[in-house]
Amino acid sequence: MPKKSNALRGVFALYRENADAADRILFGRETHADRRGFLRGAGLATMGAMVGAAIPFHRTMPAHFLPVVLASDEVIRGKDGLTVLNDRPLNAETPPHLLDDPVTPTNRHFIRNNGLPPDAVDPESWTLTIDGLVDTPLSLSIADLRSRFEVVTQALTLECGGNGRAFFDPPARGNQWTYGAVACSEWMGVRLADVLRAAGIKDGVVYTAHEGADLHLSGDPTKQPISRGVPIEKALDPGNLIAFGQNGGPIHAMNGAPLRLVIPGWPGSCSQKWVTRIRLRDVVHDGAKMTGTSYRVPNCPVAPGEDVATEDFDIIHAMPVKSLITSPATGLVSSAPAVQVRGHAWAGDRSVARVAVSIDFGATWSDADLDAPVNPHAWQNWRVDVTFPQAGYYEIWARAIDSEGVGQPHAIAWNPKGYLNNSLHRVAVTVA
């Protein structure tokens, strides 16, 4: 059987230990005398998310049943090579060497869910509501968006605020992302700013509030898994899209089809998936995962493990400067004395001014050839040829510096929630 992720190995182990309990824990499924295990509601949505499609004959599914697709290399239908970190909710990252393309293919775009994806998605009947402090509330179908507003296509970088959390010491709770909760696909849609202005923005608006069709993990329809927003100044940035296309095709189901927000440069959680409503408010939005310490960091440096009062956390806005080495893959054993090193760099609301690479643990640095972004908020591709002086073990380090002169740090700036790790990316190479 092909190798599975740790998350899926844990699922199979749970079924081996107590299959009835596994059915209840994972899918809320009770085993009946006829050995059927009825799936409904949140449990059905969970299994649908895992296989990437609806399950028409779920009512006749045997108890203790796991779909055969979960025993294959392609754990998530329509995705290739992603590492599953969690299956409730479904979260999966992309190994760096699979992000080598200048534009991230749909099948390699990471997945970050907070709840259960909607199990009934019809693009023809999907409706987006724009309301709150607007002159004219709008109810728009995807066809309305296409016909009433200019349709644009932009390469836009999305990154989870917790990307890099796995390297925090002491550890931080949450999905243990390494490097691959980032992507830069081409998104097609209409500008969020155009739609908000069409509704008429009233005086006093300070924040947006986003709502989606995903379901809370509890299955309670009165609870939201996530509802975040952004300051109105950010919402009016022309780089933000209400998107209905990805890389020339439909959006992948796990990336928010048929309609989502793309708010590049800020934590990916601002980019509501399966978006159904955008409200304008005269206060900072207080929806699910907008309050407490969610997507917030301390307002001053803190020591690792230090307790921080909730009132001393600030909402994360723009993401920090960062770079990723996509080639060579870490662990390469090379018989050649030289390799080309490639990767991407991005810097929130700024651009990247320079990327440098070191093979001697930071003693010296060589500038890489750095491409300009294809449009604002796209990551920038870079490359440099390096020659190793002799056989042995080497580490390739990459460091990006943004347009304001701020560079990546060597060490992690620790915070209790494990956000914003933009320390240097390193890969190992052995020259034979």
Residue 127 predicted with pLDDT over 90? yes
pLDDT above 70 covers a percentage of the chain that reads: 83
For residue 413, the model assigns a pLDDT of: 94
* The two domains 127-315 and 322-431 share their CATH topology (first three levels equal): no
For residue 119, the model assigns a pLDDT of: 84
Residues 1, 9: Cα–Cα separation, whole Å:
12
Residues 15, 418: Cα–Cα separation, whole Å:
31
Q: What band does 74 get if pLDDT is binned at 50, 70 and 90? A: very low
For residue 120, the model assigns a pLDDT of: 79
pLDDT above 90 covers a percentage of the chain that reads: 79
Domain ranges (residues) in the chain: 6-75, 127-315, 322-431
Burial class (CB in 10 A: 0-12, 13-18, 19+), 73: exposed
CATH 1.10.1740.10 fits 322-431, yes or no: no
Q: What band does 41 get if pLDDT is binned at 50, 70 and 90? A: low
pTM score: 0.84
Residue 62 predicted with pLDDT over 90? no
Rounded mean pLDDT, 83-106: 94
In terms of CATH, what superfamily is 127-315? Answer: Oxidoreductase, molybdopterin-binding domain (3.90.420.10)
Residue 403 predicted with pLDDT over 60? yes
List the structure tokens of 250. Answer: 């439909």
Task: HSE, CB side, 13 Å, CA atoms: give it for residue 79.
Answer: 31
| Inter-CA distances, 84 with 70, 73, 88, 110, 159, Å | 11, 11, 11, 10, 17
